[in-house]
Amino acid sequence: MDFLRAGSHGALGIGLFVCLGGAHANPFSYGSSAGLHAAAFNSSGVLGAHQSRPLLTDQLEHDERQALLAKSAPEITPWQEITVAPGDSLSKLFSRAGLPAREWVALLNLGEKVKPLEKLRPGDTLELRKTTSGHLAELRFKLNSVDTLSVSRSNLGGGGNNPGELEAEIVHLDTHTRRLSVRGTVDGSLSQSLSSAGVPPNVATQLAHIYRYRANLSRHMHPGDAFSVVYDAEYADGKRVAAGPVIAASITTGGQNLKAFRAVNDDGEVRYYDATGKPYEPSLSRHPLKYSRVSSPFNPSRLHPILRVRRPHWGVDFAAARGTPIHAAGDGVVTFVGRKHGYGRIVQLRHFDGYTTRYGHMYEFVDGIEKGDRVRKGQVIGYVGATGEATGPHLHYEVRRDGRAHNPLTMKLPDGESLPQARLAAFTNRIQPLIARLDDVPDMPNTLIASSASVDARHGCIRASGVNAAFALAPKNTRKRHSLAELFCVASSDTNA
Ligand SMILES: [Zn+2]
């Protein structure tokens, strides 16, 4: 559940972008190797028509820059965008771009950073420039919404016959976090309502995930039900580049209000808790894999599909593609790994309070798993197969308590571990402003909250000017009932509860 987070490494690069932006459609920051690099852009002639403002405010003195520009430098072609077609490899792309094989070989020799270039997929795009002497001058490849692989030659502006060495770096777009709130009532379907309230799809998916053990949001919520969510989003260059995680949420349906708050448990794992510190997620899961359908339900008197005799089916069969990862249903200890007659390859886990789980017909076990190993809930233990008595790839999943089998799809699941008493006070304090934000800020237009509540999770209550501006716009009644701190400052020091 970790979301894209970039550090604030791009400040220098952003400065460059301000100037180069007009020449490139790509809104990224490049070239933190500064001086020579920048000079190469200008000397290439590509940007010659561009006004020659200083690239970076405190970069090079004017005279120094002029001296660099005067040096002879290799001619560099304009940026060329190449889209990967099915069946393309880096070597094919380079040959299409008119670059000899030694160039992509040298590029791939740059190690870990350029690894993504070995796994190009159709539709990916690369941008590159060449020197007129047939060398790769620069290359850019967008890795995700904030990271770009940027390759350039160290000596581009240096002139002469030496083409210089290729250097690779990952350029991070400078991002900052905003904490946003959205609330509304269901009109039509929940997903439509969330989307028309401006909730990013990713956040809507997280909501469904958080509440999945208490309510099926797509089925159980009805017109008139209310929702409210506080989430963090990453912004770069005024645009949202990532949304999530959900910090707090509230849904009101069927006369019931369910609030959920994000916190990190003692094992460093993110969980969602209700206001009393009880987790939303039970300690065992009903379906420990992504499956396509239940191919055979729990049935104490099943007619066995292969043996044609009545034989109880003490588990649930989940059909899934061969190789689909199977996750431990809960924290526990491995008590068996190996083959067992009808089960084929099977893993057996012992949990707390007499619970055990079994995972049969595996194609293979996860590397290195052994009897006696401790596993965490969600950890991959093996892969779906059809070993033993199985007509096709599926997982046979059993949950037993003190040896007695229970139907994992319908049984009451054991509660997850509540936050420890020692942390409850801090948690309770931390969620108060979140509760206020979920419930008590009426008539506050979404857009206002969205554009102004730039309380940064990492920096706490930020610049007063922003907060004041927002406050001045807030409806008068909220001004009376809420302090600035309540409205905009979510305590940042204890985000881990
Ligand atoms: Zn089965």
Residue 443 and residue 477 in one domain: yes
Q: Which residue has the tokens 């933190």?
A: 32
Which residue range forms the structural domain that includes residue 140?
A: 11-172
Tell whether 5 is covered by a domain. no
Share of the chain above pLDDT 90, in %: 55
Would 413 be classed as within a structural domain? no
Contact 379, 288 (CB under 8 A): no
Alpha carbon of 178 to ligand 1 centroid (Å): 48
**CA separation for the pair 52, 42 (Å, rounded):** 8
- In the reported structure, the alpha carbon of residue 352 is separated from the centroid of ligand 1 by a whole-number distance in angstroms of 24
What whole-number distance in Å separates Cα of residue 100 and Cα of residue 119?
A: 20
Class of residue 77 by CB neighbours under 10 A (exposed 0-12, middle 13-18, buried 19+): middle
CB proximity list for 196: less than 8 A, separation 6 or greater: 184, 187
Domain total in the chain: 4
Average pLDDT over the chain, rounded to an integer:
76
Instruction: Report whether pLDDT(231) > 70.
Output: yes
Q: Are residues 360 and 235 both part of a single domain?
A: no
| One domain, residues 60 and 188 | no
Considering only the C-alpha atoms of the chain, give the largest distance between any 2 of them, rounded to a whole number of Å.
Answer: 92
> Reduced to 3 states, what is the DSSP secondary structure of residue 260?
strand
Listed residues 210, 241, 273: the one ending a domain = 273
> Does 152 lie in the same domain as 38?
yes
Provide CB contacts within 8 A for 486, sequence distance 6+.
433, 436
Displacement of CA 117 from its chain's centroid (Å): 21
What's the 357 CA to ligand 1 centre distance in angstroms? 13
CA distance 194 to 209: 15
Looking up tokens 């200008």 gives 42
Q: Same domain, yes or no, for 153 and 35?
A: yes
Q: How far is the CA of 390 from the centre of ligand 1 (A)?
A: 8
* pLDDT value at 179 more than 70: yes
307, 429 Cβ separation under 8 angstroms: no
Where a domain ends, among 154, 172, 190?
A: 172
Give the CATH number of the domain where residue 232 resides.
Answer: 3.10.450.350
pLDDT reported for residue 249: 97
Cα–Cα separations (whole angstroms), residue 238 to 4, 177, 203, 241, 393: 16, 11, 19, 9, 48
Q: How many Å lie between the centroid of ligand 1 and the Cα of residue 428?
A: 44
| pLDDT band at residue 45 using 50, 70 and 90 as cut-offs | very low
* Cα 286 to ligand 1 centroid, rounded to whole Å: 15
pLDDT of residue 445: 42
Q: Does residue 213 lie in a domain region?
A: yes
Cα 296 to ligand 1 centre (Å): 7
DSSP state of 50: S
Domain final position from 371, 406, 441: 406
Range in 61-75, 86-100, 208-222 with the lowest mean pLDDT:
61-75
Question: Region 61-80: what's the mean pLDDT?
Answer: 63
Structure tokens at 33: 């190797």
Please indicate, yes or no, whether residues 466 and 375 belong to a single structural domain of this protein.
no
Question: Does 6 reside within a domain?
Answer: no
Place of tokens 């949304």: 243
Q: Which two tokens stand for residue 375?
A: 């596993």
Tell how far the Cα of 377 is from the centroid of ligand 1, in angstroms.
22
The CATH number assigned to the domain holding 361 equals: 2.70.70.10
Residue 287 resides in a domain:
no
pLDDT value, residue 174: 87
- Residues 46, 143, single domain; the answer is yes
The tens digit of pLDDT for each residue in 71-109 reads: 555 688 899 999 999 989 999 999 999 999 999 999 999
Asked if residue 4 is part of any domain, the answer here is: no
For the stretch 268-321, pLDDT in tens is 889 999 999 999 999 999 999 999 999 999 998 877 767 777 788 999 999 999
Ion ligand 1 residue ranges (Cβ < 5 Å): 317, 396
* Domain identity same for 119 and 76: yes
Going from the Cα of 183 to the center of ligand 1, the distance in angstroms, rounded, reads 44
Report how far ligand 1's centroid is from the alpha carbon of 397 (Å): 7
- Beta-sheet strand order (sheet of 226-236): 176-185, 226-236, 239-253, 256-264, 270-273
199 and 149 share one domain: no
Give distance in angstroms: CA of 16 to centre of ligand 1: 61
Q: What is the mean pLDDT of residues 48-63?
A: 43
Q: How far is the CA of 316 from the centre of ligand 1 (A)?
A: 6
Q: What is the 3-state secondary structure (H, E, C) of 298-355?
A: CECCCECCCCCCECCECCEEEECCCCCEEECCCCEEEEEEEEEHHHEEEEEEECCCCE
347 and 425 both lie in a single domain: no
Which of 44-48, 193-197, 253-257, 282-286 is predicted with the least confidence, judged by mean pLDDT? 44-48
Least confident of 29-38, 356-365, 383-392: 29-38
Distance of CA 340 from the midpoint of ligand 1 (Å): 13
Task: Please check whether residues 20 and 167 belong to one and the same domain.
Answer: yes
- Distance, CA 447 to ligand 1 centroid (Å)? 51
Residue 181 and residue 93 share a domain? no
CA separation for the pair 157, 66 (Å, rounded): 12
CA of 271 to the centre of ligand 1 (A): 31
pTM score over 0.85: no
Rounded distance from Cα 215 to ligand 1 centre (Å): 27
Task: Determine, yes or no, domain membership for 286.
Answer: no
Ligand 1 center from residue 359 Cα (angstroms): 9
